[in-house]
Amino acid sequence: MNKKSFVVVLLAICMIFSLALTANADDEFKAVYLVNGNLGDKGFYDSAASGMYRMRDELGADIKIIEMGRDETSYEGNYLDVSDQDWDMIISGTWSVKELAEQTAAQFPEKNYIFFDGEVNYDVVTTHNMMGISYLSNESSFMAGALAALMLDSGAEKIDPEQRVLGFIGSMDTANINDFLIGYIDGINYIDPSIKLLTSYVGSFEDVPKCLEMTKQLYNQGAQIVFAPVSQSNIGAVTASADADMYLIGCDQDIWAQINETDPERAKNIISSALKNVGDSLLTAVAGYMDGSMTTSENYVLGLSSGAVGLAYNENYEALVPEAIRTQLEEIKASVIAGDIKVRTAFGMTSEEIASIRDAMKP
């Protein structure tokens, strides 16, 4: 082969290799996550982001995360922008963007969407190009309520067994947060209906100082353990727990695991967290969509039976919660999964019904 022929062959090989790379790139599944807030909450949003990273690492997906912040006037532009681009799946969640997400999906029938932490209204998304993922948060908070109630008689030095009072602090007085409340109340009452509950709402998803002060107030008013579904303001509840040297149950992610590595003193009183494994569910949803086992024309509801919700089991949980209580909680979990224990939900309840249930628990 002469030099000229060799060059021609080499160029041909390079071109084939380049085309192969381009084809592989074109075949790569592309998923984008629109965050209706910012990462760094060590809770809900970070959990969703972890699912995106796992899509990249485990499914080979090309991913992007767009933090939209709290300026809701920018949200529509972000949805329209990504819908005009070549994403295979557009992911977003929580009640505050539900209407916008559904309207966008209906406007772009050739695109595919996942909406998590709520059910898709297919009277709006008549194009059936949006998968809904919701969680039985009431089941995980039922477990949190049973844990808190059982801990009152655990003999722990930080708990006064004569004070039959627990605490609940939520971010907002909304159905999603009140679903945690109703499940928590049912869990408490399953163990001991005589226990009372103090309830507060921060009135914000991310007001850390206010959350800190309101959680402190619950401890000062006699709450022996506080359960805190407070979204991005959870570090306020954690700090209040450390300052008061009282127990806390976190929410969404394993808050102890998130904080312990960098600030073990602040994390020391987090006995567990009521998990909503958003990241796991998003990975499952995208993998299911890719292999055809899940569709964008269906709502999927995930609970204790699927592992999507539950209590966080970690070193602190094992150190602070006696073995007998841990064993009892496993038995309770099995009963909920089997349907022998029915847990109420805030969804479908009126605000008056929720208020009545809440008020009946007051000391």
Q: Is the pLDDT of residue 17 over 50?
A: no
Proportion of the chain above pLDDT 70, given as a percent: 92
Q: Is the pLDDT of residue 3 over 50?
A: no
46, 108: one domain? yes
Q: Is the pLDDT of residue 147 over 80?
A: yes
Position 26 scores a pLDDT of 52
Q: How many domains does the chain have?
A: 2
DSSP alpha helix (H) spans, the chain: 3-27, 44-59, 75-83, 98-107, 137-151, 175-191, 208-220, 234-244, 255-260, 264-267, 278-291, 315-320, 323-338, 351-359
Query: Other CB atoms closer than 10 Å to residue 234's CB: what's the count?
Result: 31
CA distance 219 to 245: 10
In a domain, 316, yes or no: no
93, 162: one domain? no
DSSP alpha helix (H) spans, 132-277: 137-151, 175-191, 208-220, 234-244, 255-260, 264-267
Distance of CA 119 to the CA centre of its chain: 15
200, 347: one domain? yes
CA distance 123 to 99: 12
In a domain, 291, yes or no: no
12, 42: one domain? yes
Last residue within a domain, chosen from 88, 113, 135: 135
Q: What is the pLDDT of residues 21-64, one digit of tens each?
A: 433 445 799 999 999 989 887 667 888 999 999 999 999 999 99
Position 95 scores a pLDDT of 86
Task: Name the amino acid, one letter, at 25.
Answer: A
**Overall average pLDDT of the 236-250 stretch:** 98
Q: Is the pLDDT of residue 1 over 80?
A: no
Place of tokens 């009072």: 165
CA distance 230 to 169: 7
Is residue 275 a contact partner of residue 254, using CB atoms and an 8 Å limit? yes
**Overall average pLDDT of the 90-107 stretch:** 95
Is residue 99 a contact partner of residue 77, using CB atoms and an 8 Å limit? no
Last residue within a domain, chosen from 135, 166, 201: 135
144, 130: one domain? no
99, 168: one domain? no
Last residue within a domain, chosen from 113, 135, 157: 135
CB-neighbour burial class of residue 122 (10 A; exposed 0-12, middle 13-18, buried 19+): middle
Q: Which of 244, 203, 248, 205 is nearest to 228 (CA)?
A: 248
34, 110: one domain? yes
Q: What is the pLDDT of residues 181-222, one digit of tens each?
A: 999 999 999 999 999 999 999 999 889 999 999 999 999 999
99 falls in which pLDDT band (50, 70, 90)? very high
52, 177: one domain? no
154, 170: one domain? yes
CB-neighbour burial class of residue 88 (10 A; exposed 0-12, middle 13-18, buried 19+): middle
- Which residue did the predictor score with more confidence, 94 or 331? 331
**Overall average pLDDT of the 69-92 stretch:** 96
CATH number at residue 101: 3.40.50.2300
How far from each other are the two terminal CA atoms of the chain, in whole angstroms?
94
**Overall average pLDDT of the 116-129 stretch:** 96
CA distance 304 to 271: 19
Task: Name the amino acid, one letter, at 280.
Answer: D
In a domain, 166, yes or no: yes
In a domain, 302, yes or no: no
| pTM of the predicted model over 0.85 | no
**Overall average pLDDT of the 308-335 stretch:** 97
In a domain, 299, yes or no: no
Is residue 48 a contact partner of residue 116, using CB atoms and an 8 Å limit? yes
Give the chain's mean pLDDT: 92
Q: What would the DSSP string read from start to end of 274-312?
A: EEE-HHHHHHHHHHHHHHTSS-TT-EEEE-GGGTSEEEP
CA distance 97 to 35: 10
Position 96 scores a pLDDT of 87
In a domain, 289, yes or no: no
Residue 149's domain spans which residues? Answer: 137-276+322-359
CA atoms lying within 13 Å on the CB side of residue 361:
27
121, 148: one domain? no
In a domain, 338, yes or no: yes
In a domain, 313, yes or no: no
76, 169: one domain? no
